[in-house]
Structure formats: structure tokens, C-alpha cells
Amino acid sequence: MSSLADRLDAAARDAVAIPQIVSAAGVDAEGAYTVQEQVVARRLARGERLVGIKLGLTSRAKMAQVGVDEVIWGRLTDAMAVADAATVDISRLIHPRVEPEVAFLLDASGDPTAVAPALEIIDSRYADFKFSLADVIADNSSAAAFAIGSWQPLPDGLDNLGVLLEVDGRVVQIGSTAAILGDPRRALQEARRLVTVPAEAGWILLAGAASAAVPLAKGAYVRAVVEGLGTVAVRAS
């Protein structure tokens, strides 16, 4: 298990893709979460700090894009956070993609205190962005970076807000928050059901992408718009 974690950690640090070593080793989803914990432990040992949780594959569009149809989760660290409107260095990523999300700010009981539009940059450590369920779980659910817009008070309804993803001012994905588990607030229940790490006050929960992800190229200016919640943007360099 720990040698699998070492190889995934090295793939991320060297930005060199590896084969699907976790499924090849016969590790199941539960074992893959142990590998994920070990992969993230290596980041924490280098001084990073946990700042929240991401859910993945919470929309049909995402499940279809990667060919895995179960909701997964991963760990977010402070080193993955990019400020809204800032430049994100993608030169150390293998084949980054970007996707529009909704983020919740949590209290110590895991209840939401605010909501914001978000962008997630994912980067599979596997060749050709191809993996099975156990592979992607062990790879910290492809987490690489994320940006959060301005936190907003929780509105009455979050279940049918329009979502746009723009690259260089052109709309590349159109969707609705309804694509996220029918209502992104269900992400809070899914997190309670699945996540084995207790939430801490001030943690972020990424609810998962509302649309398929798109490739992220150097120089691109990417913006997500979530109706009623505002915008969030990053420039890739």
C-alpha cells in the first residue's frame, strides 16, 4: 500500500503520468481510500494543512466523462488553494482540466454557513486521464487546485441555478446546479455518509462539478458563473 502511495506522490511531484497501478494491484475502493490517506499524509509531512474535502462524480456529466459511476471524495490542502482572480501555475501538472463547482463553507458539525461559486483544477496522475474507481480514489480523486469566489449567505434554493464555464470569454460548458446530485445541498449528506475525516470549522466542501471538465492550457483565463452566487476566475500560467 505505501509503495503505491509513494508512486502516486512521485507522479504528482514529478508531473509524470503512471499506469493504473492501484487497480492492477487488486486494491478495492476501501483499500484505495487508505492509499489516498497515505498519499495526502506525504503532503502533510511536507508542511501542507488540510482545509476541506472535495466530492467527485456527483453529476451524470462527470460520471460519463470518466466512465466511473460512483460518488468519490478527496482531501483538499492549503497548497491547492488559489485566490479568486489569481494566476495558477500549471507547469507542474500533467494534463490539467478545469470544471465549475459549488463550494460550501462548513462549521465544526459539518453544517454549511455559506456558499460560493468555485473552480476546480483536476489532474489525473494516470496516463491519458484513464482510471478505474480504485485508481482515482487512491489518486486523491484527481485533486490539484481550486479557487473559491465570494462566500454568500445560503439562499433558499440552490437546486436550479444556471452554471456557465468560460474560457477566454467564450462559454464552453452550460449547466445547472441541479446536475449536482439533483441539488448541491445533497453533497452535505453525501459527505456525512462517505467521508471518514471529521469536518473542522472553516473547512471547505466542494460539491463536485456541474458539467464535464475541459482541458486547461497555459495562458487561459477561466471563469465560472453560478446564477445568483456570482463568479470566480483564474488565469493559468
- Which one-letter amino acid corresponds to residue 88? V
Instruction: Note the Cα 153 to chain centre separation in Å.
Output: 22
Partner residues linked to 214 by β-bridges:
98
Does 234 contact Mg ion by CB under 5 A? Answer: no
- Closest approach of Cβ 115 to Mg ion, in Å? 16
Chain residues 92-111 in contact with ligand OOG, contact rule CB under 6 A: 99
Give the range of 5-13, 120-128, 170-178, 183-191 binding ligand OOG by CB under 6 A: 120-128
- Closest approach of Cβ 58 to ligand OOG, in Å? 6
Residues in the chain: 237
- Closest approach of Cβ 120 to Mg ion, in Å? 4
Does 209 contact ligand OOG by CB under 6 A? Answer: yes
The region, left, alpha or beta by phi > 0 then psi within -120 to 50, assigned to residue 41 is alpha
- Closest approach of Cβ 207 to ligand OOG, in Å? 8
Strands (E), 67-189: 72-77, 81-82, 87-88, 97-106, 112-122, 143-148, 162-167, 170-176
- Closest approach of Cβ 101 to Mg ion, in Å? 6
Does 208 contact ligand OOG by CB under 6 A? Answer: yes
Q: By C-alpha distance, which of 53, 229, 86 is closest to 150?
A: 229
Q: How far apart are CA 51 and CA 77, in angstroms?
A: 5
Q: How far apart are CA 203 and CA 67, in angstroms?
A: 29
Q: Residue 25 or residue 29: which is nearer to Mg ion going by CB?
A: 29
Q: Residue 120 or residue 135: which is nearer to Mg ion going by CB?
A: 120
Give the range of 21-29, 37-45, 188-196, 205-213 binding Mg ion by CB under 5 A: 205-213
With CB under 6 A as the contact rule, the residue among 56, 96, 100, 184 that binds ligand OOG is: 56
Q: How far apart are CA 73 and CA 82, in angstroms?
A: 20
Give the range of 16-24, 76-84, 116-124, 189-197 binding ligand OOG by CB under 6 A: 116-124
With CB under 6 A as the contact rule, the residue among 142, 173, 177, 211 that binds ligand OOG is: 142
* Helix locations, the chain, DSSP H: 2-14, 21-24, 29-45, 60-66, 133-138, 186-194
| Residues at the interface with ligand OOG (CB under 6 A) | 54, 56-58, 62, 66, 99, 120, 122, 124, 136, 141-142, 208-209
